[in-house]
Amino acid sequence: MSKNYTVAVVGVGLVGKEMLKVLHQRAFPAGEIRVLATRARTETIDGHDYAVVPASDEAFDRVDIALFAGTEGARGASQQFGWSAAERGVFVIDNGNDFRMDPRVPLVVPEVNPDAMLNHRGFIANPNCSTIQMVMALAPLHREAGMKRVVAATYQAVSGTGRAAVAELRKGIRSGTDGGQFAPEVYPHPIAFNVLPHIGALSEEFPGYYSEEVKMMLETRKIFGLPDLPVTATCVRVPVFNGHSEALNVEFERPISAERARELLAAAPGVEVLDDPAAAKYPLPAEASGRDPVYVGRVREDKSAPHGLDLWVVSDNIRKGAALNAVQIAEKAVEMGLI
């Protein structure tokens, strides 16, 4: 990475701020970092001051890489500016949901399917946070034994919804502890001391499924290039500030033992195995928060299905599930000579 790049970060919510932190922490070769948002202001993030300027087509002039920090389910900035920026020669990496299933747009997790970037048109999509950590755990096992079916149940933190949801959980905890009540505004029901099997809007294409569940199903198929892979998910919002957890049940085409699965996962880049249930050692969102890896534990053979495994997967949804993965896409694009 001998060249210094001009990088634009679009949006300074939870994900945008984390993108800026990750760019500095990983010493990405950025000669200039521009921060674009809806209004002009100054933001201090991780000890660095940024002059935020309003996003416009002209703001992307002479920008090499643009990271769009759309949060879970967010729409807008990449719809308005993404393709026009790409037409100006900007390498666009979009964390939003708008173009993930667009056939023109590679959907990339660098440790899993970097070759998909070779077909880019100047626009790469970051998968959904829950999809990213799942495919990170599935990829080394799939290479060994071939996936046959995936069943996922998620336990997703409120940070995935954004700052207002984090504030609502804090308010709900205080109110519940004090014996008070308040009307939730972000979620349809109180999230404190509760779980909500409801993330996103109901799908018309998949009746009964919410959009987060559909994302996991369709994105997983696209990332692995398996359009007919049976995948189903139940996505649940839980009263955790940060860090998503997932219970995965996976059936494979060929035999794979729990011991072999642990070996493969331990050798996989970006994955750490924490699996000693007798000593109560397994991944926890409280410990994964603020860290880069995808953590896997509770690896065990499913005796109810041939060639089946159960896994418990935890990761920081704002970091690897969004900001870090986007920066890693930029790093891989530089490494591959695509920028």
Enumerate the active-site residues: 129, 244
Asked if 321 contacts 245 with a C-beta cutoff of 8 angstroms, the reply is no
What b/e sequence results for 231-245 when a residue is b if at least 16 CB atoms lie within 10 Å of its CB, and e otherwise? bebbbbbbbbebbbb
Asked if 35 contacts 49 with a C-beta cutoff of 8 angstroms, the reply is no
* Residue in 322, 262, 331 with CA at minimum distance from that of residue 132: 322
Q: Given the DSSP bridges, would you call strands 231-237 and 147-156 parallel, antiparallel or unpaired? A: parallel
DSSP category for residue 203: P
Asked if 51 contacts 42 with a C-beta cutoff of 8 angstroms, the reply is yes
Nearby residues of 103 by Cβ (< 8 Å), 6 or more positions away:
none
Give the number of other Cβ atoms within 10 Å of residue 161's Cβ: 23
The CA angle 154-194-152, to the nearest 5 degrees, is 10
Pure H helices in the chain: 14-25, 77, 83-87, 129-145, 163-178, 211-224, 258-267, 285-288, 324-335
